[in-house]
């Protein structure tokens, strides 16, 4: 408490800010947070350093932030995987209790892509095909417990079909497997699928978000293409250690909201198929709670686990 009170009395920030990112360098969230960090550096005259910690489930990076001083100089940027982890891992921290929400940053759509040898032109036909061939069609993912894996489990649950899950060590080998025909389906970021759709190497049936994507407006959503109620959104959030002063959180939230309206930042997001989705700290907290509950149900129903 004394540390937090002292931090609140100082002009924030007083030293470099470290953002622990639960994704690899060069990934979509990495490009976004580096762009935001550059703007913060220019405004506040303190360096913003990105520390990539793409461990399984983001556990290592999340614990590092949870144990950091609550002064706003160490932050956590995470994806949807952060809200899946409580159902998949025995965590050394509490996802709700040990973090202070700062702001939700963006929504990015995923897509359902299939190998062109799969005789389905839309989601409705894919569901019918899967029902006629239980356990035959397979889907590749970037690993057990990842959003790609659980996106498939949610699809199986809602469509009441049996698909074979084939986990790989990351998105690149999972995509390679799909392109070669080793697997039939992949729930993948839209930007990874579109280039192959244009060359005919993949067929993209729809986007997994509630609304169509601006970079592929002709693609229907999965819900409107044959599976009502299906929605999976990749999203990015920014949090601080528990106990971070409200004044610091408010300053971060206000400045980043402004940054998310800047044309070059919006352009970066649009290039990824994403949209700015800034929230209040309270809005992020409520969203995190809803996502944890959503994925807990999927994990329980599917029996998914990390081997």
Q: Looking at residue 272, what is its pLDDT?
A: 83
In this prediction the pTM is: 0.89
Residue 155 maps to which CATH number?
3.40.190.10
Q: Looking at residue 7, what is its pLDDT?
A: 47
Q: Looking at residue 12, what is its pLDDT?
A: 97
Regarding whether 259 and 196 lie in a shared domain, the answer is no
Regarding whether 157 and 72 lie in a shared domain, the answer is no
Q: Looking at residue 174, what is its pLDDT?
A: 94
In-domain check, residue 119: yes
The model's pLDDT over 197-233, given as tens digits with 9 standing for 90+, comes to 999 999 999 999 988 988 899 999 999 998 999 999 8
Regarding whether 138 and 102 lie in a shared domain, the answer is no
In-domain check, residue 82: yes
In-domain check, residue 287: yes
Regarding whether 104 and 18 lie in a shared domain, the answer is yes
Q: Alpha-carbon distance 147 to 108, whole Å?
A: 13
In-domain check, residue 215: no
Residue 102 maps to which CATH number?
3.40.190.150
The model's pLDDT over 71-119, given as tens digits with 9 standing for 90+, comes to 999 999 999 999 999 999 999 999 999 999 999 999 988 999 999 999 9
Q: Alpha-carbon distance 124 to 226, whole Å?
A: 4
In-domain check, residue 63: yes
Regarding whether 248 and 103 lie in a shared domain, the answer is yes
Domain that residue 54 falls in: 2-108+233-302
Regarding whether 44 and 113 lie in a shared domain, the answer is no
In-domain check, residue 203: yes
Regarding whether 96 and 113 lie in a shared domain, the answer is no
Give the residue from 153, 172, 207 where a domain finishes: 207
If one counts the domains in the chain, the total is: 2
Regarding whether 272 and 133 lie in a shared domain, the answer is no
Regarding whether 130 and 191 lie in a shared domain, the answer is yes
Regarding whether 19 and 94 lie in a shared domain, the answer is yes
Give the residue from 172, 207, 242 where a domain finishes: 207
Regarding whether 8 and 104 lie in a shared domain, the answer is yes
User: Residue 230 contacts by C-beta under 8 Å, 6 or more apart in sequence?
Assistant: 154, 155, 158, 208, 222, 223
Regarding whether 104 and 237 lie in a shared domain, the answer is yes
**CA-wise closest residue to 123 among 206, 194, 20, 181:** 206
In-domain check, residue 31: yes
Question: Quick count: other Cβ atoms within 10 Å of Cβ 200?
Answer: 8
Tens place of pLDDT per residue across the chain (307 aa): 444 555 445 689 999 999 999 998 988 899 999 999 999 999 999 999 999 998 767 899 999 999 999 999 999 999 999 999 999 999 999 999 999 999 999 998 899 999 999 999 999 999 999 999 999 999 999 888 889 999 999 999 999 999 999 999 888 899 999 999 999 999 998 988 999 999 999 999 999 998 898 889 999 999 999 899 999 989 999 999 999 999 999 999 999 999 999 999 999 898 888 899 999 999 999 999 999 999 999 999 888 887 6
In-domain check, residue 251: yes
Q: Alpha-carbon distance 271 to 32, whole Å?
A: 11
Q: Looking at residue 9, what is its pLDDT?
A: 58
């Amino acid at each position: 408490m004394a540390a937090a009170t002292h931090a609140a009395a100082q002009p924030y920030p007083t030293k470099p800010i470290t953002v622990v990112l639960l994704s690899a360098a060069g990934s979509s969230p990495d490009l976004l947070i580096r762009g935001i960090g550059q703007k913060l550096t220019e405004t506040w005259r303190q360096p913003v350093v990105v520390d990539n910690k793409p461990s399984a489930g983001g556990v290592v990076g999340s614990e590092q932030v949870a144990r950091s001083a609550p002064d706003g100089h160490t932050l956590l940027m995470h994806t949807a995987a952060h809200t899946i982890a409580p159902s998949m891992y025995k965590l050394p921290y509490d996802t709700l209790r040990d973090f202070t929400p700062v702001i939700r940053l963006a929504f990015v759509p995923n897509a359902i892509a299939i190998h062109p040898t799969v005789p389905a032109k839309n989601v409705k036909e894919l569901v019918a095909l899967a029902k006629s061939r239980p356990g035959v069609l397979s889907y590749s993912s970037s690993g057990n417990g990842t959003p790609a894996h659980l996106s498939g489990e949610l699809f199986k649950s809602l469509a009441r079909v049996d698909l074979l899950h084939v986990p790989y060590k990351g998105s690149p080998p999972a995509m390679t497997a799909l392109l070669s025909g080793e697997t039939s389906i992949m729930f993948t970021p839209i930007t990874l699928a579109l280039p192959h759709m244009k060359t005919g190497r993949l067929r993209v049936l729809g986007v997994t978000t509630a609304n169509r994507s601006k970079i592929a407006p002709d693609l229907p959503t999965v819900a409107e293409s044959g599976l009502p109620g299906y929605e999976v959104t990749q999203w990015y959030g920014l949090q601080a250690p528990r106990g971070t002063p409200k004044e610091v959180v408010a300053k971060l939230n206000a400045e980043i909201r402004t940054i998310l309206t800047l044309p070059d930042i919006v352009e970066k997001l649009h290039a990824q198929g994403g949209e700015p989705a800034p929230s209040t700290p309270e809005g992020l907290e409520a969203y995190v709670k809803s996502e944890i509950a959503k994925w807990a149900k999927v994990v329980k129903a599917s029996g998914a686990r990390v081997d």
